[in-house]
Amino acid sequence: MDSLYIVVPCYNEEEVLHETTKRLTDKIDRMIAGELISQDSRIMYVDDGSKDKTWQLIEELHGQEPRVLGVKLSRNRGHQNALLAGLMTAKDLCDVTISMDADLQDDIEVLDEFVRKYQEGCDIVYGVRNNRDMDTGFKRNTAQAFYKLLKFFGVDAVYNHADYRLMSKRALEGLAEFGEVNLFLRGIVPQIGYKTATVEYSRGERFAGESKYPLKKMVSFAFDGITSFSVKPIRMITTVGLVIFLVSLIMLVYSLVVNAMGHTQAGWTSMMMSIWLLGGLQLMAIGIIGEYVGKAYMETKKRPKYIIETVLRDE
Ligand code: UDP
Ligand code: MG
């Protein structure tokens, strides 16, 4: 039997940690009893530079409950980096990991199914939501738009899959090979390969605390995802540029003809319109290209994605 580490990034989650620990240890115990996973399975919390008592709580829980381990980042680096820090730490300590959110919005009863798929030979198992009834209409709509947008721009991501997923040691070693700084796990993980599977589950409500993903973070997350994986925005700009170039050829002929016929009117309206239109388009194009240049710049720096301050683990 293999040891399972459940990796949970936490940012200001003091309100949920007790309950989450209770539910997860109970689940792990039941899975051990069901002979799905080994005795040395653990919960690994990653404190993503929380401003509240999250880390003190993790330390406390680690003291009381042998199943709880902790990793503390030196500052807030965002959900994706915190998750990666946890996964990379866990990869050297266990056989298989499952990542999930601290609020347990994702039904933990499907963990058995995750592990069963793993035992059948899958290296990556994606948790896929089959309903979003519990989310607010706003969250649901923005999230749906997010997946559609990713798909439109050609990013190879699993539909309705957040970061609730099982990854084997081997898959994690593959993930470790990716050197990029702009980290978008949902786009990278499908690139690893190996045999994969999906498991459906229903998404519940956050039982305490509030979402750490406000609209602003979601928008920048989506933008990051797209520009990290797709050159489609640049191609679109190129297409628009081409179309405008063709139109301007027609306009050239047209204005020459009008000129030859002697009707050289002031043409102020069309002039103003084209100046504004082209000016706007050019700025937009420069902005998008700039985004890629900025990313290339960041990649060349090869900055560490996170720095671990402390690791709590078995002696
Ligand atoms: N999170 C994190 N760092 C951040 C923001 C969020 O580690 O900067 C964690 C958070 O503690 C939670 C998970 O990411 O475990 C998902 O956040 P949340 O449940 O607030 O997002 P939502 O479910 O509303 O999309
Ligand atoms: Mg949540």
Q: Is 163 in the pocket of ligand 1 (CB under 6 A)?
A: no
pLDDT of residue 272: 66
- Read off the pLDDT band of 300 (50, 70, 90): confident
Q: Supply the residue whose CA is at minimum distance from atom 16 of ligand 1.
A: 101
- Ligand showing the shortest atom-to-Cα distance for residue 101: 1
Instruction: Please compute the mean of the pLDDT values over residues 23-35 and round it to a whole number.
Output: 93
* 271-287 pLDDT, tens digit each: 766 777 787 778 778 87
Q: Which atom of ligand 1 is nearest to the CA of 78?
A: 8
Is there a contact between 122 and 195 (Cβ–Cβ < 8 Å)?
yes
Interval 248-263 mean pLDDT: 76
Dig out the tokens for 289 from the structure: 């290209």
Q: Is 103 in the pocket of ligand 1 (CB under 6 A)?
A: yes
> Rounded to the nearest 10 degrees, how much is the dihedral formed by the CA atoms of 203, 86, 184, 177?
-140
Q: State both tokens at 40.
A: 């040395």
**% residues pLDDT > 70 (the chain):** 94
**151-209 tens-digit pLDDT:** 888 777 888 888 999 999 989 988 888 877 777 888 889 888 888 999 999 888 888 88
DSSP 203: B
Q: Reply yes or no on whether the pLDDT at 137 is more than 80.
A: no
DSSP state of 106: B
84 alpha carbon, closest ligand: 1
Model confidence band, residue 122 (pLDDT cutoffs 50, 70, 90):
very high
Indicate the pairing of strand 42-47 with strand 165-168: unpaired
Whether 149 shows a pLDDT value over 90: the answer reads no
User: Does the C-beta of 82 come closer than 6 Å to ligand 1?
Assistant: yes
Classify the C-alpha dihedral 233-235-238-242 as positive or negative.
negative
Q: Give the pLDDT band of residue 86 (cuts 50, 70, 90).
A: very high
* Ligand 1 atom closest to the CA of 76, numbered from 1: 8
* Closest residue CA from atom 1 of ligand 1: 79
Letter for the amino acid at 1? M
Mean pLDDT of 212-221: 81
Q: What is the spatial distance between Cα 2 and Cα 167, in angstroms, rounded to a whole number?
A: 13
